[in-house]
A and B are shown apart, each in its own frame.
Chain A
Amino acid sequence: MLEMSTAVHAQMVTHCWAGLPLEACGLLAGTGDSATACYPTANVAESALVYTVDPKGFLHADRDAEARGLTILGVFHSHTHTAAYPSPTDVAQAPDPGWHYVLVSLADDAPVVRSYRIVDGNITEEPVVLVR
């Protein structure tokens, strides 16, 4: 399960819309399985098909999270036209089996947000629980 504050959810989705027509990405931080901070980053791949989190954005997010007593617990990115499901590329390049992988699909007017664990190539969906 991934808990997410409504503020983080809103920030994440807004960043994804703002990134169109390209994929957008960012990091999520918090404690345990609860995301309380969102770090939108640049997509240095600058593509509508692939994303790469700006390494410097990751560095700053990591430092800021640490200063606030939080840990980076996952990454989010948008799929501009496809479903909110990890692609083979997402699975192959997932860097941390402990992370939550959040997909935001912008295929329709209503964004779809889903979260997954990716461990040893296995995808398991988990519920996203919004916390007001």
Chain B
Amino acid sequence: MPVEVRIPTMLRSHVGGAATASVDGATVREVLDNLVAAYPALVGQIVTPDGTLHKFVNVYVNDDDIRYLDKLDTKVTDADSVSILPAVAGGS
């Protein structure tokens, strides 16, 4: 069953401008793999080549940061909303 994935503004041009995508997967990793398979321009932007979450990307399942759940192995169902958000940081 598909999961709703919220796409951050800076990646929307890679998914034809969409703000959300409906993607199959039982874990966050599967959902992201399927998302990238559907939109190859996303390769390397969310998950690094060695299969870990990019340092400057945060992924939430509903209100929970996956880094505090099971990371990319966090299970998801079609009732969940997966949000991809860039890290927003800087300094003086």
Contacts and interface: CB of A to CB of B under 8 A. Distances in A.
B57 to A, nearest CB: 9
Which range holds the interface residue count of chain B? 10 to 19
A80 B92 CA distance: 8
B9 A96 contact: yes
A50 B86 contact: no
Which range holds the interface residue count of chain A? 35 or more
A59 B90 CA distance: 18
A59 B9 contact: no
Contact of A55 (B6, B19, B60, B92): B60
A52 interface: yes
Interface of A is mostly: mixed
Interface of B: 6, 8-10, 19, 56, 58, 60, 63, 65, 83, 85-92
Chain A to chain B: the 7 pairs with minimum beta-carbon distance, closest first? A89-B91, A50-B91, A96-B10, A90-B90, A95-B86, A53-B88, A55-B58
7 contacts: A47-B91, A48-B92, A56-B60, A59-B83, A89-B89, A93-B90, A96-B86
Interface of A: 23, 25, 27, 45, 47-53, 55-56, 58-59, 62, 66, 71-73, 75, 77, 79-82, 86-87, 89-90, 93-99
